[in-house]
Structure 1
Amino acid sequence: MSICVAIASANPVKKRATLEAVRVALGIKDVDAVVVEVEHGMPDQPIGDEETLRGARVRAEGALALRPDADYWVGLEGGVTERDGELEAMAWAVVLGRTAEGELRRGESRTATFTLPREIADLVRSGVELGEATDSVFGESDTKRGPGTVGPLTGGIIDRVSYYAHAMVLALVPFRNPEFTFAPATERVEA
């Protein structure tokens, strides 16, 4: 069996995480991952849980609009949120797909969070995107297309692919379990 997954990001980390998750969670080895560029209208650095989730939803819905022939449509959005005076990093994964009856179904999951060091948090609070702040603090370049912020902060124990892949597996729960009832994806999200 072969499937097509439209991913609303050209970031190779998001593509690899999606492929790993689909292959493991759905047991499908032959996956054609198609990257689509979605005009999502979101800020480069989403702030807060709601804005980050909205960004992932808009991306998944944009992928559906651009590639209606795919089997699944994926939006992944990284963000930051304030908690008790600390800035935490997290991300949302949204998957859209159809049931055997053709009903559109949505799966969503949030990654774990981790507290950012003040050196990175202060830059983000000043308007610098998290990836750029990470590059600046660690003297790296383009970490968001590689280990992300989580990579250097965990000493490489968790990289951005594995960080996103866990959330993707959980977002695929409604599609792994078609015999159960999940809420349909009915409402459209505005950017």
Structure 2
Amino acid sequence: MAFPKRRNLQEQKRQKLVIVGSKNPVKIKSTENAFSTLFDESFIVQGLNVDSEVSPQPKGDVETYTGAYNRAFASKNAFPEADFWVGIEGGVDNVGEQMVSFAWMVVLNNETTIGKAKTATFFLPEALNKMVSEGMELGEADDKLFNRTNSKESGGAVGILTNGVISRSDYYQQALSLALIPFLQKEHY
């Protein structure tokens, strides 16, 4: 006589869907890592190509944040049945004669909560500063200066400049974890 299989309680829980407003594998991986580290739930994380509606290389906090928000909002409009939508946008800014790199994270849910955070900033070498100032995207400038191919979908500038000690995924994951605070501490937000 065969006995019916018991359903695993984990299998009975619905996996939550997270849409990332980019197909960049670094952005998808950092989102997977942040959600799975902070929540005792199961998530499916998918990337979606959406327009940031900002310049290819955003400059300053306002434009970079706007790009991240636009990615999250466009993802929500394109795939409203998800549970969370994430926008990640890398940017640069000038500090005097030097240039810094950073990224903004925006997380939306199907309520009214919004999570926002910014990565740490780091100064770029003068050669990258010059190329980006002349109109090149940072990822393209990284590839040219360091003889790489599509570095923005792997280590990025932070990975190259730290000799791989800080990966772009880890760099983004910390800020994504901070952007998830309002979802972890709902009673305070």
Displacement over 4 Å in runs of 4+:
none
**Number of equivalenced pairs:** 176
How do 1:64-143 residues align onto structure 2 when only pairs under 5 Å count? 64-98=76-110, 103-143=111-151
SS in 2 for 1:104: coil
Aligned match of 2:63: 51
- Percent sequence identity is 39
Alignment match of 1:25 (pick from 38, 55, 67): 38
The equivalent of 1:16 in structure 2 is 29
Larger relative helix fraction: 2
**Alignment partner of 2:113: what SS?**
strand
Structure of higher RCO (CA pairs closer than 8 Å, 6+ residues apart) = 1
* Unpaired stretches in structure 1, ≥5 consecutive residues: 183-191
CA RMSD of aligned residues (A): 0.9
Deviations along 1:33-86, whole A, 9 cap, x unmatched?
122221232111001111000000000000110111100000000000111221
Distance of 1:131 and 1:40 partners within structure 2? 16
Please give the TM-score of this superposition, normalised by the length of structure 2. Answer: 0.91
TM, length-normalised to structure 1? 0.90
* Corresponding residue number in structure 1 for 2:47: 35
Measure the CA separation in 2 of the matches of 1:50 and 1:142: 26
Structure-1 separation of matches of 2:61 and 2:109 = 23
Whole-angstrom distance in 1 between the partners of 2:25 and 2:145: 22
Gaps of 5+ in 2: 1-12
